[in-house]
Chains A and B, each alone.
Chain A
Amino acid sequence: MAGVLAANFLYVILITLGGVLVSGSVHFVPVGGAPAAMAQATGIGTGTVQLAAGAGLTGLVTAGAMLSLTDSMVLILAAGMVGAMIMIGVTMMVGNLVYVYGVGVPPASAKVDYDPITKDRQDIYVSQGTEGHGLPTVSFVSGIIGGGLGGIGGALVYYSLMSIANGMASADFVGLAAIFAVGIFFVNAVIPSYNIGGTIEGFHDPKFKKWPKAVVTSLIVTFMCAIVSVITIGGL
């Protein structure tokens, strides 16, 4: 058991790094939760975990597809990154279409008076009694960054697990590595969601400054999960 761990210690570190990237990435994604689903808060109208899972699992699938073609770590991480960015970007774009043309509200942030990217005025467009609505440019850009980081993180976890030497049949190995990646991913999606208390607008939100707490927590938890998963896969 110790031998397996020593031989694969690099992968323990890479898995931990991947988990930490996922955890940090969630802080970028504009999540509005149930209030946003009623157009009463800025962000996408669902929970952090659902969004992170959607983006991360898409990243896993695209990374897995790339893994069947090449061994290059850079290409696999890039595939995971782009997959997750497309997934989160499409979600935000369709969400914005619904907010603007369905609900009839302009995208506006309640956390800043001027959009840091476009410099557009925000506060006068925020409906009374709401915390903003839709996805203004800064939230969209932040979400794309978050999707990218989460995709790299998910792909890094999967790639590291798939790189561990073992004696399993390939179908068994893929299944086991995938379910480990999913488990580690979900844990790292929930931790930051507790850190931000369910909603965040993006990197311009004051809550964004809390990210080190989630990252430290994820570092410790993912390290434990990484050791457990490396011992499991390496020992088979």
Chain B
Amino acid sequence: MSAGGSGGGAAEAIPQNKLIAFGAAGGLIAIYLSYFMVQFAGPAFSFIGALGAICAIVWGAAAVRRVASYGLGTGVPSIGMLALGMGVVATMFGLAIGGIAGPIVAFVTAMVIGLVIGALANRIIGMGIPIMEQSTTEIAGAGTLAIVGLSTAMTGTFMFDVVLTEIIATGYIALIFIVAGIAILHPFNANLGPDEKQDRTLTTGFEKGAIAMIMAGIVSAVSAGASAAPTIVIGLAIWYVSFSQYRNYVVRDAYDVVGTGLLPKEEEESE
């Protein structure tokens, strides 16, 4: 499950275009697959929506990595919050007016808002980041797909009447907001530095996405349209694999890994 690449430490072992395809196509296909499988085969397949969210989260983390490498002038978390701020507005709009085309309407709306923010950030605020327009567009799209994917995993559908009563009125939307936001912003924030590697950062994205999936599974326990057990079990499996892989990358990239033993009991002993 790792987004490994060659591991050679090139700035981009996986080109961004492949990640865009992975996130956008993978996310949308998984969301629709989840919806139709739940309709025709039963609520056990609601977990596919969370897989779509993981695709989108990894894509978003890759886009954050690219744009934040230029230096935003403020912390990396800001752009994750921007992604989910744009994403949640676009998602509500898209799902409310889109019907069966809801996820696509939401996705396109988010990307339009993202493009405008990116263009204004460069033209008016003068951030001077050459890929700003593309990155805010990508991040908004990824944030939206993460929200829709997790909502689908929680309820088994993205139809707005169900999402409204089971996700928004209950307040789970706030959980989705912050979990998906952290999953998108945290990978680069945790790995940034001169030795940052794409595969290690993206593996963190998978790991954070798996945590979001487990949470979606717990929430879906109270929903009639979705089933909790497959989502939680598959989420735990993805988390275990990606976290082990992440640890392998950390060991690979570290100069040395040594045990320090237990902390000394008295402060003097440490001197």
Binding site for B on A (CB under 8 A): 1, 33-34, 47-50, 53, 168-169, 171-172, 174-176, 179-180, 182-187, 189-191, 193-195, 197-198, 213-214, 216-217, 220-221, 224-225, 228-229, 231-232, 235-236
8 sample A-B contacts, Cβ–Cβ < 8 Å, listed by A number: A53-B81, A172-B168, A175-B168, A185-B85, A186-B81, A213-B125, A216-B120, A236-B160
Cβ contact within 8 Å between A47 and B92: no
Which residues of chain B from 128 to 161 have a CB within 8 Å of any chain A CB?
A: 160
* Cβ of B64 under 8 Å from chain A: no
For the residues of A in contact with B, the DSSP-based class is helix
Measured between C-beta atoms, what is the minimum distance from B151 to chain A in Å? 12
Inter-chain contacts of B81 with A (CB < 8 A): 49, 53, 186, 189-190
Determine if B125 and A221 form an interchain contact, defined as CB atoms under 8 angstroms apart: no
A233 to B173, CA, bound (A): 16
> Which B residues touch A193, using CB under 8 A?
74, 78
Say yes or no: A229 contacts B89, CB within 8 Å. Answer: yes
What's the nearest-Cβ distance from chain A to residue B60, in Å?
Answer: 15
Contact of A217 among B72, B89, B92, B120 (CB under 8 A): B120
B113 touches A224 (CB 8 A): yes
Given contacts A33-B75, A179-B88, A194-B73, 18 further A-B contacts (CB under 8 A): A1-B97, A50-B77, A53-B81, A172-B168, A179-B173, A182-B88, A183-B92, A186-B84, A189-B81, A190-B82, A194-B74, A194-B121, A197-B73, A217-B117, A217-B120, A221-B113, A221-B120, A229-B92
B74 adjacent to A236 (CB under 8 Å): no
Structural contact, A48 and B78, CB atoms closer than 8 A: yes
A171 to B170, CA, bound (A): 8
Q: A198-B75, A229-B89 are in contact. Are A175 and B121 (CB under 8 A)?
A: no
User: A172 touching B164 by the CB < 8 A rule?
Assistant: yes
Are A175 and B171 interface neighbours, CB within 8 A? Answer: yes
| A228-B93 contact given A186-B85, A197-B73, CB 8 Å threshold | yes
A183-B89, A235-B96 given as contacts; is B171 within 8 A of A217 (CB)? no
Q: Is the CB of B169 within 8 A of A49?
A: no
**Which residues of A have CB within 8 Å of B92?**
176, 179-180, 183, 229, 232
Flag if B85 contacts A198 (CB, 8 Å).
Answer: no
- Choose one: B90, B121, B126, B177; the contact of A179 (CB below 8 Å): B177
Q: How far in angstroms is the closest Cβ of chain B from A117?
A: 27
Alpha-carbon distance between A229 and B79 when the two chains are bound, in angstroms: 21
Which single residue of chain B is at the shortest CB-CB distance from A188? B85
**Bound Cα distance from A176 to B117, whole angstroms:** 23
Max chain B C-beta neighbours (<10 A), residue from A50, A214, A232: A232
Complex Cα–Cα for A103 and B82 (A): 33
Residue of A169, A182, A228 near B90 (CB, 8 A) is A228
Closest 5 interchain pairs by CB? A186-B85, A198-B74, A197-B73, A183-B88, A187-B85
A189 contact set on B, CB distance < 8 A: 81
- Tell me, in angstroms, the Cα distance from A187 to B143 when the chains sit together: 13
Given contacts A194-B78, A194-B121, contact A213 B89 (CB under 8 A): no
Q: Complex formed: what's the CA distance from A195 to B177 in Å?
A: 24
Q: Do B168 and A34 touch (CB < 8 A)?
A: no
Q: How far is the CA of A168 from the CA of B72 in the complex (A)?
A: 40
Digit string of B54-87 for contact with A (CB within 8 Å is 1, else 0)? 0000000000000000001111011101101111
Partner of A47, one of B78, B89, B117, B170: B78
Complex formed: what's the CA distance from A184 to B81 in Å?
Answer: 11
- Name the residue on A nearest B181 (C-beta): A186
Cα of A224 to Cα of B111 in the assembled complex, Å: 12
| B74 and A172 contact, CB distance less than 8 A | no
Q: Is B174 an interface residue (CB 8 A)?
A: yes
Q: Is B165 in the interface zone, CB < 8 Å from A?
A: yes
What residues of A have a CB within 8 angstroms of the CB of B125 in the complex? 191, 194-195, 213-214, 217
CA distance A226 to B160 in the complex (A): 19
CB interface residues, B 163-200, toward A, < 8 Å: 164-165, 168-171, 173-174, 177
Q: Within 8 Å of chain A (Cβ to Cβ): is B242?
A: no
Quote the shortest CB–CB distance from A90 to chain B (angstroms): 22
Taking the complex as formed, is B262 at the interface, i.e. its CB lies under 8 A from any CB of chain A? no
Cβ of B72: which chain A residues have Cβ within 8 Å of it?
194, 198
A225 partner residues in chain B, CB cutoff 8 A: 89, 113
Distance in angstroms from A153 CB to nearest chain B CB is: 14
Q: Are B120 and A232 in contact (CB under 8 A)?
A: no
In the complex, how many angstroms separate the beta carbon of A157 from the nearest chain B beta carbon?
11
Closest residue to B95 on the A side, CB-wise? A232
Q: How far is the CB of B70 from chain A (nearest CB, A)?
A: 12
